[in-house]
């Protein structure tokens, strides 16, 4: 074929595409900027159920991403913006918890140890007591008391050194910079730490836990910004242990709902929780000199340890209660387990954990740009994931660790089989899970809605109506071939109204974003 003819043919094709694009744009303008819903030619029962749901007027202006995947084949039965990134809210916890179970194994338990370092002679320890923290999110006061009781069991009455915690590279107290100011001082997101105690939340009546507390009024708190926060309707409250360990500074919100009994978030939990432990030892009759520097010694004596519940139970609670601190501690655990020797100390455990999750996702076939995470709990609006990535994790875990699916939340009637994780922020609602249909098939289902009205309560019921419809689907044969390429998946939703196909950053609105 002559080269000149080929060039003319190519030009004609380009003109045809351009003309078609103009017609589509004119049609969209004619309909008020929204095009009619045109779906890919899926004919299976799942696709029909979703197509019907998408006609609801309440979601006509929202940005929607849906993918229905057959398990275990992985064939995609339906996709609308399945490979577009959306803010997932707490469905991001699926990545953290699944990776943790895959890395640690279902038999893993946290082991918080107590060690005596130095020479032990009769009732005197010429050295230090060392708590070896392990990021356990479930560690509580009773657990600490039982661990410290081992000191008295060994007849130790005097300690010449200090009570210290073992060093953890990259394990500093962490409040993620990706979260908003409105999360400051809120009980839904305490500060993560090496040594967690009672969820890193202090009682309002005794915020110092035995250490004298100094109440600071909002007007005397320091900066104008802090003053405004303490006066806000969110009513935050912090307790900060003085570096000397001899007093605790309390920043208590002045909003009427913030009473003297309201709990307070601990600002520096590693130091605070260690001081609580030292106070408990003192009450147990153990004398400590609190030397300025710990006594150095190569001699170590194991005193005891606390074993947590199995990791599966911790993950179950994290998913059921959508516990943000549990998720962050699991992220830190991933970081501590996978951290490479020689990693600089300024690289935090959270950062190491995120890096490992990224690598793990690549090993199960998820593209690097499908998942952007800045935390492990989904609280940040800087997290962006695709519905396809969530389904791929569910596919992997249903085959690799079938027990993981059983850890997901089960809600509704006794006949329901849908196990899932939800996510919610202002203007955002998401659901991701696995459903066994009455026809005998198994589906991975992910629905993410961004840019919705600030009140998303009704949207939850609407999404559940869709998942219920999927649960009662008749049997089908997996015969349709999934789209062959990533670009094809994106095209499945490309003809939906312009607001649905806009970039996800358009929905970054400054509303209250408690993730659940």
Residue 200 scores a pLDDT above 60: yes
Residue 1 scores a pLDDT above 50: no
pLDDT > 70 in the chain, percent = 76
- Assess whether 152 and 270 both reside in one domain: yes
pLDDT tens track for 429-445: 999 999 999 999 999 99
What is the model's pLDDT at position 177? Answer: 81
CA angle, 149 as apex, 146 and 152 as ends, to 5°?
Answer: 170
d(CA 262, CA 257): 9
Reported as a pLDDT band with limits 50, 70 and 90, residue 514 is very low
Per-residue pLDDT averaged across 159-184, rounded?
A: 87
Mean pLDDT (the chain) is 81
- Assess whether 352 and 296 both reside in one domain: no
d(CA 129, CA 114): 7
Would residue 313 count as lying in a domain?
no
- Assess whether 143 and 269 both reside in one domain: yes
Close Cβ partners of 66 (under 8 Å, ≥ 6 residues apart): 50, 54, 78, 79, 80, 81, 82, 387, 446, 447, 448
The number of distinct structural domains making up the chain is 2
- Assess whether 182 and 277 both reside in one domain: yes
Q: Looking at residue 373, which CATH number applies to its domain?
A: 3.40.710.10
- Assess whether 80 and 185 both reside in one domain: no
CB atoms within 10 A of CB 293: 8
Supply the pTM of this predicted model: 0.83
What is the model's pLDDT at position 513? Answer: 38
Would residue 5 count as lying in a domain?
no
H or E element: which one contains 275? helix 269-283
What is the model's pLDDT at position 89? Answer: 95
Give the best-scoring range by mean pLDDT among 202-206, 237-241, 248-252, 336-340.
Answer: 336-340
- Assess whether 69 and 149 both reside in one domain: no
- Assess whether 466 and 409 both reside in one domain: yes
- Assess whether 270 and 410 both reside in one domain: no
pLDDT tens track for 63-95: 999 999 999 999 999 999 999 999 999 999 999
What is the model's pLDDT at position 94? Answer: 98
Query: Helices then strands (H, E): number in the chain?
Result: 13, 19
- Assess whether 280 and 391 both reside in one domain: no
Containing structural domain, residue 227: 111-308
- Assess whether 159 and 298 both reside in one domain: yes
Would residue 513 count as lying in a domain?
no
Would residue 136 count as lying in a domain?
yes
What is the model's pLDDT at position 157? Answer: 94
What is the model's pLDDT at position 38? Answer: 41
- Assess whether 151 and 54 both reside in one domain: no
Lowest average pLDDT, out of 181-190, 214-223, 267-276, 400-409, goes to 214-223
- Given a contact cutoff of 8 angstroms between Cβ atoms, the answer to whether 243 and 274 are in contact is no
pLDDT tens track for 445-456: 999 999 887 666
Would residue 315 count as lying in a domain?
no
Would residue 436 count as lying in a domain?
yes
What is the model's pLDDT at position 486? Answer: 42
Would residue 512 count as lying in a domain?
no
What is the model's pLDDT at position 174? Answer: 81
Q: What is the 3-state secondary structure (H, E, C) of 128-165?
A: EEEEECCCCCCCCHHHHHHHHHHHHHCCCCEECCCEEE
What is the model's pLDDT at position 43? Answer: 75
State the number of CA atoms in the 13 A half-sphere of 65 facing the CB: 32
Per-residue pLDDT averaged across 401-418, rounded?
A: 79
- Assess whether 389 and 262 both reside in one domain: no
Would residue 45 count as lying in a domain?
yes
Lowest average pLDDT, out of 29-38, 232-241, 263-272, 421-430, goes to 29-38
What is the model's pLDDT at position 509? Answer: 32
What is the model's pLDDT at position 505? Answer: 31
């Amino acid at each position: 074929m002559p080269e000149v003819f080929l060039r003319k043919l190519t030009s004609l094709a380009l003109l045809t595409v351009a003309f078609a694009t103009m017609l589509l744009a004119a049609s969209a303008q004619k309909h008020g900027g929204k095009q009619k819903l045109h779906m890919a030619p899926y004919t299976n029962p799942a696709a029909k159920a979703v197509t019907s749901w998408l006609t609801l007027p309440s979601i006509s202006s929202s940005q929607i991403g849906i993918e229905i995947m057959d398990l275990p084949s992985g064939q995609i039965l339906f996709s609308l913006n399945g490979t577009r990134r959306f803010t997932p809210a707490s469905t991001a916890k699926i990545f953290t918890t699944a990776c943790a179970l895959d890395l640690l194994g279902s038999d893993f338990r946290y082991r918080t140890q107590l060690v005596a370092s130095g020479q032990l002679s009769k009732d005197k320890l010429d050295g230090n007591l060392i708590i070896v923290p392990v990021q356990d999110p479930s560690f509580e006061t009773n657990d600490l008391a039982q661990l410290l009781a081992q000191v008295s069991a060994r007849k130790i009455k005097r300690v010449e050194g200090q009570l210290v915690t073992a060093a953890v590279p990259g394990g500093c107290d962490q409040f993620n910079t990706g979260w908003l100011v409105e999360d400051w001082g809120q009980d839904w997101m305490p500060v993560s730490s090496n040594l967690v105690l009672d969820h890193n939340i202090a009682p309002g009546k005794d915020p110092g836990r035995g250490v004298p507390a100094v109440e600071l009024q909002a007007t005397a708190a320091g900066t104008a910004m802090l003053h405004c926060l303490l006066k806000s309707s969110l009513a935050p409250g912090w307790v900060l242990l003085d570096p000397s360990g001899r007093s605790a500074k309390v920043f208590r919100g002045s909003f009427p709902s913030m009473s003297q009994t309201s709990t307070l978030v601990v600002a520096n939990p590693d130091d605070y929780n260690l001081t609580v432990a030292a106070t408990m030892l003192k009450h147990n009759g153990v004398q400590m000199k609190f030397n300025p520097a710990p006594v150095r010694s190569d001699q170590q004596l194991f005193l005891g340890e606390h074993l947590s519940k199995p990791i599966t139970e911790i993950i179950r609670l994290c998913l059921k209660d959508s516990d943000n601190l549990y998720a962050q501690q699991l992220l830190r655990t991933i970081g501590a387990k996978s951290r490479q020797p020689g990693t600089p100390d300024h690289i935090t455990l959270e950062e190491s954990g995120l890096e490992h999750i990224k690598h793990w996702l690549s090993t199960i076939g998820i593209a690097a740009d499908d998942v952007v995470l800045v935390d492990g709990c989904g609280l940040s609006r800087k997290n962006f994931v695709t519905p396809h990535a969530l389904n791929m994790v569910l596919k992997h875990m249903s085959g690799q660790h079938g027990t993981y699916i059983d850890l997901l939340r089960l809600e509704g009637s006794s006949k329901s089989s849908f196990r899932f994780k939800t996510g919610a922020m202002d203007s955002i609602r998401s659901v991701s899970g696995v459903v066994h249909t009455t026809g005998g098939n198994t589906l991975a289902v992910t629905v993410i809605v961004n840019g919705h009205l600030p009140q998303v309560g009704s949207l939850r019921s609407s999404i559940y109506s869709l998942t219920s419809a999927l649960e009662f689907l008749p049997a089908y044969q997996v015969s349709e071939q999934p789209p062959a390429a990533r670009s094809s998946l994106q095209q499945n939703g490309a003809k939906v109204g312009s607001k649905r196909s806009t970039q996800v950053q358009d929905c970054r609105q400054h509303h209250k974003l408690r993730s659940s």
